[in-house]
Structure 1
Amino acid sequence: MSRAKSILGIGITIVAVDFGSALTLAPQIALFESLICRRLGGGGDCKSPEVQGELALLIGWKETLDQLPGIIVALPYGLAADRFGRKPILLGLFGLVLEEIAIRLVCWWNVVIPLRIVCATSIFQIIGGGAQTASAMAYAMITDVVPAEKRASTFYITAAVVLLGEILATPLNAFLMISTPGMPTLLGVEVELAGLSAATFVSETRPGKPPTAVQTTTIHERREELRSVGDGDDSTDYEHRSWKHTMSGYWMHLRGAGENSWDLNMVTFLALQLIIPYASSRFMWSIPRASFLVTLKGIINLIILLLILPWLSARLSRWMSWSPAVKDLRVVQGSAWFLTFGALLMALAAQPGAFVVGVCVFAFGWGFSAALRSLATALALPSQVGLLNSRIGLAQGIGSPIAGPIPQFRHSTNITKESGYSLDLNSLQAVWWFSFACCSEPFPYS
């Protein structure tokens, strides 16, 4: 399969899965809200503190438990992808589809099955490692077939393609939710199945050269070992040494993956999981109306990723004569500043207009993750790309056991205050962590 066809197949898979997930986000929240309201006897007042507090905690714990399978299996799947191939790991999206089906069954039988059982459906993500691992494999496959000089721009475009799911899904599910939230949730599962089907037609992209014994060491350690490994080693010694270095480096990757996990997780949480319920309860908006904030954010993100960042990346290389790594680092830091000021505006917003402005400023920093991924890829060996992307996914997952219940607990606590909302404490927490990313110099470049 040609390079263009490989990228197209991977893109279709990513778009379909993300579109299906985005299609179910707001309807699933609305469905949970209605079921909780019915169970607590809230009558027609589903915006009561009791209902919204229970909803916030349910979403927070569900998000937390969704990350645990990926944390457990991310590195083993990454190692397997580098050794045996990317495609089998990508097909692990089947586990994600099983989880979505299980959630629908729990909601359907909510009379006999407690709604909180939806948190246990995360166990299905052991198959494939969930969305983070699938995303890691997609980026690894793109890295395999795209030249280094085009990598950052390709990552920006890939992130923009993923955003198409949000932009298209949000108004569609708002329209479908007029009658019932059940229809878009079922449609989302069907779209995810289509994405899984598309993944079966993607060719394997793993480089033919087998991984070396230095895959799980730092850059300097890899260079030293490349000097010491002779050409006359037999295959048995090579396999033994490769496995030894792989296992000895496992804990190093696990420990290092948590260093920036707060920054990465707050981006995800503020973008989707908290904007909708916070705006809905803070400004007394319906969930379909609040979900249009995701569409607005997605449109701005699309412009940033498709137009501004590729143009800026080319100009920085020409004007400043920066290396690709330094250029990516500056984009990461600039994006972090936008994330910081956007989160600060959302935290202090007392009126809907100010909150919307904060969301817009926050959206201008959405190149953060793509630029950071490109920066990390520049420092990895080709034989370590799968492990690298799995480590990035692990970093995003490790912070969720903290970044899940705590922000949702703060949200539910704010709801119960009789004096009403004064500050968005979750956005203030994000400001604190993003400010570190603004000024960090994580890698020494010459």
Structure 2
Amino acid sequence: MDETTPLLPGEDGGDGGGGGSQQRGPRCASFFQARRPRTIYFLLSLMVFGLSFSGSLGDVPVTRLIEDNLCQRYYAARLDGATRHNKIDESLCKSDEIQSQLAYLNGLLPMIEAVVGLFVALPYGLKSGINGVFRKGRKPVLWLSLAGIFVSGLWIAVVLALGQRISIYIILISPVFAVVGGGSTVLVSAIYSVVADVVCEADRVSAFLTVSLGSLVGNLFGPLTASSLMRTSSPWTPIALSLLILLLAMGVIGFIPETLPALKQEEEWSVSRDDSLYGTVNSYVWEFKDQIKEAIGMIRQPSLSLILFAFLCPSPVGIATSALFIQYVSKRFDWSMAAAGYLLSVRSMVNVFVVLLVIPGLSKLLVSGVVVKGFSAGEKDRILAQASAFSLAAGFLLLAGTTMPIVISGLIIKTLGAGLPSLCRSLAAYHTSAENTSKLQTVIGITETMGLLVAAPGLAWMFSIGMKLGGVWMGLPCPPSPVAAMTTAHRPTFDPARGKEALRGPAYHQRLQPAHTQLKFRKAGQGGDADDEPSRDLAAELLAAEAVHFSKKKGAPVPGDEDDDQENVSVAAEKRPLPPAGDGEEDYEAKRRRILEETRDIDADDSSEEDDEDSDDESEDDEDAELQRELERVRREREEKKKREKEQKRKRKRARETLHWGTRFSISRITR
């Protein structure tokens, strides 16, 4: 799913005109609602910051309260309830049994959340779902999604507040509240759709960068604030603040107008009006079958299947560096969870550095060819994906270290590979045609969900085994986490990349291509100047010139050309030659006449030749000047075309990279 993909099929997120460049305002707005597109996506960025800050603010204290609940039950069962109302020190809660239950509980929660989200988000992604649920626009989707997230977090807080009165495992019901609005997946899609509705294509890159920046900043300051409040007061302070900030983020929606055009709503409502239960379920089943068939056809490609295998990595990597990582550091190095929470801020800080500076800078460096030869976009993404995979592998190996400096260095090195999912999405796009991009995103989402279903309980089991073995084996969940990512360490194709980028390149109609790129000259028989200058027989001219030369040398009559010298011959025939002198010498007058006639012919030939040469030189100069002007015009047109293509390519590249590097600001629920 990219920034142009609508929340639901049938919505283009634009003005219906195929992604024009005109800026579209909201359909209507109250006096207190924003009207300018820039103000609207700034409010969305503020809302995303609140959601990210709220989610990361509650991760560490919720984990600590769950641990305390399990600890109370553990000692109450062994001391006959003597500690039921007494506070137990956190250092006494690091036994293997308590930590094993905590690991399984933190593993089951995201697994159930993924299963519920997979089935709940499906109706929101089908055409038939929108016709029966949402006909009012984007804002109902935002309201209901945030309401479901808030109720889910409130449920966890209530269960933890009741303490020993009810079972702690009741918090596993919290993901069920995602049915209210589809959960975080639908919420992210709705936010992207609102931005696409109001922002023109030229400003879409900066708009999504602003929204992504809100998520990055929220994840940076959330754990830092939570750890500080836990050390100064209690875990309940950041939890209460988290719920309050979530309500404030919901209030921001009130200042955002409805952005879905009314005409488009009517068209969506008229697509299907089978409101019966059987018709709705039947449409769901058929559309789901079609998506499964298309997905199976796509993964049959060997190269694409290898890249999709790498998408099993993000889920275990995310789990291993969030709640499980806090638990691992607290257990192995005897740190309090409040102190371990500061490490999450270090991770977020490095993540901001990687997303905003490292990956864009390396991308420009590899494409420009300043240091190494210029790579194509596909080769550049492959090289960066390989580097990210190696960084993940090396970082997780260091996370299993025996000292805290080694673990912190491993966390930093591991975070340098945070761009692997986005890079793999780009690589997968090169193996898919443009019309199958949305289908590819669906397959990727299913693959990531499958990875989460396996990774959540699997890493919890490995952590439990590591605690039983003790020593270095406590870092057992760390090395297997990036195994799937290492599939990108080789060239992700069984066949040399021939014409792969042509699928993603710009397509131009034949009429838009330059038709005349070379100058053409007329030939003999085509009219114009070509017919005025007949071809010359150079051999005949050379023989005639030699004959004239030898005739003049011998004093014999000069053989003239029948066409050019006919007049001179007739004039010479009319003149009677003078009789020779009596003493055998040529008469002076006759000699003078003969010399004048000979020199006259020579002068006439020289003048005609000079005129011909001058005219030829002038014509050649004119032709050369015209040729140079035409070549200059063609060169100028080509340069302008290259500039236009380069600018268009740069805009598309910026839009794609912003989507790739934009953090999937996981609206991490307060459950972690």
TM range (shorter): 0.7 to 0.9
Distance 2:444 2:208 in 1: 14
Match of 1:445 in 2: 501
Q: CA deviation at 1:389?
A: 5.8
Q: Out of 321-330 and 113-122, give the one that drifted further.
A: 321-330
With over 3 angstroms needed to count, the CA separation of the structure-2 counterparts of 1:325 and 1:142, relative to structure 1, is farther
426, 430, 434: which one pairs with 2:481?
Answer: 430
Match of 1:76 in 2: 123
Q: Which runs of 5+ in 2 are unaligned?
A: 1-24, 26-35, 77-87, 273-278, 300-304, 503-672
With over 3 angstroms needed to count, the CA separation of the structure-2 counterparts of 1:26 and 1:177, relative to structure 1, is same
Match of 1:405 in 2: 457
With over 3 angstroms needed to count, the CA separation of the structure-2 counterparts of 1:424 and 1:253, relative to structure 1, is farther
For the 8 Å contact 1:74–1:390, the answer to whether it is kept is no
Distance 2:221 2:43 in 1: 19
For the 8 Å contact 1:301–1:364, the answer to whether it is kept is yes
With over 3 angstroms needed to count, the CA separation of the structure-2 counterparts of 1:410 and 1:235, relative to structure 1, is closer
Match of 1:4 in 2: 38
Q: CA deviation at 1:155?
A: 6.0
Q: Summarize deviations over 1:73-103 as a string: whole Å, max 9, x none.
A: 3333233599876554333121111100011
Q: CA deviation at 1:318?
A: 3.5
Match of 1:421 in 2: 472
Match of 1:367 in 2: 419
159, 167, 190: which one pairs with 1:114?
Answer: 167
Distance 1:400 1:210 in 2: 36
* Aligned ranges 1:270-281 → 2 under 5 Å: 270-281=320-331
* Aligned ranges 1:39-78 → 2 under 5 Å: 39-41=73-75, 43-44=88-89, 45-78=92-125
2:355 is the counterpart of 1:305 = yes
Distance 1:264 1:434 in 2: 8
245, 252, 257: which one pairs with 1:198?
Answer: 252
2:237 is the counterpart of 1:183 = yes
Match of 2:149 in 1: 96
Provide the TM-score with structure 2 as the length reference: 0.55
Distance 2:381 2:208 in 1: 11
Match of 1:27 in 2: 61
For the 8 Å contact 1:86–1:204, the answer to whether it is kept is yes
Q: Out of 398-407 and 334-343, give the one that drifted further.
A: 334-343
* Aligned ranges 1:4-403 → 2 under 5 Å: 4-41=38-75, 43-44=88-89, 45-79=92-126, 87-91=139-143, 92-139=145-192, 141-142=194-195, 158-178=211-231, 179-202=233-256, 246-252=287-293, 259-319=309-369, 327-347=380-400, 349-372=401-424, 392-403=444-455
Match of 2:660 in 1: none
Q: CA deviation at 1:153?
A: 7.9
For the 8 Å contact 1:160–1:305, the answer to whether it is kept is no
Match of 2:322, SS? helix
Q: CA deviation at 1:201?
A: 3.9
Distance 2:258 2:184 in 1: 19
Q: Which amino acid letter does the alignment assign opposite residue 59 of structure 2? A: L
Q: CA deviation at 1:311?
A: 2.8
Q: Out of 325-334 and 396-405, give the one that drifted further.
A: 325-334
Distance 1:325 1:26 in 2: 39
Q: CA deviation at 1:139?
A: 4.2
Q: CA deviation at 1:158?
A: 4.7
Match of 2:223, SS? helix
Match of 1:220 in 2: none
Percent identity, aligned pairs only, is 25
Total equivalences in the alignment: 417
Structure showing greater Rg: 2
For the 8 Å contact 1:70–1:397, the answer to whether it is kept is no
More helix by share: 1
Provide the TM-score with structure 1 as the length reference: 0.80
Match of 1:344, SS? helix
For the 8 Å contact 2:138–2:258, the answer to whether it is kept is yes
Q: Out of 376-385 and 37-46, give the one that drifted further.
A: 376-385
Q: CA deviation at 1:58?
A: 1.0
Q: Which runs of 5+ in 1 are unaligned?
A: 212-233
Distance 1:301 1:156 in 2: 15
Match of 1:110, SS? helix
For the 8 Å contact 2:351–2:415, the answer to whether it is kept is yes
Q: CA deviation at 1:396?
A: 3.1
For the 8 Å contact 1:27–1:181, the answer to whether it is kept is yes
Distance 2:374 2:206 in 1: 17
With over 3 angstroms needed to count, the CA separation of the structure-2 counterparts of 1:244 and 1:394, relative to structure 1, is closer
With over 3 angstroms needed to count, the CA separation of the structure-2 counterparts of 1:6 and 1:201, relative to structure 1, is same
Match of 1:180, SS? coil
With over 3 angstroms needed to count, the CA separation of the structure-2 counterparts of 1:116 and 1:445, relative to structure 1, is same
Distance 1:153 1:340 in 2: 33
For the 8 Å contact 2:42–2:211, the answer to whether it is kept is no
Q: Summarize deviations over 1:213-253 as a string: whole Å, max 9, x none.
A: xxxxxxxxxxxxxxxxxxxxx989xxx9x999845532246
With over 3 angstroms needed to count, the CA separation of the structure-2 counterparts of 1:434 and 1:159, relative to structure 1, is farther
Q: Which amino acid letter does the alignment assign opposite residue 352 of structure 1? A: M
For the 8 Å contact 1:156–1:306, the answer to whether it is kept is no
For the 8 Å contact 1:70–1:132, the answer to whether it is kept is yes
- The structure with higher relative contact order (CA 8 Å, sep 6+) is 1
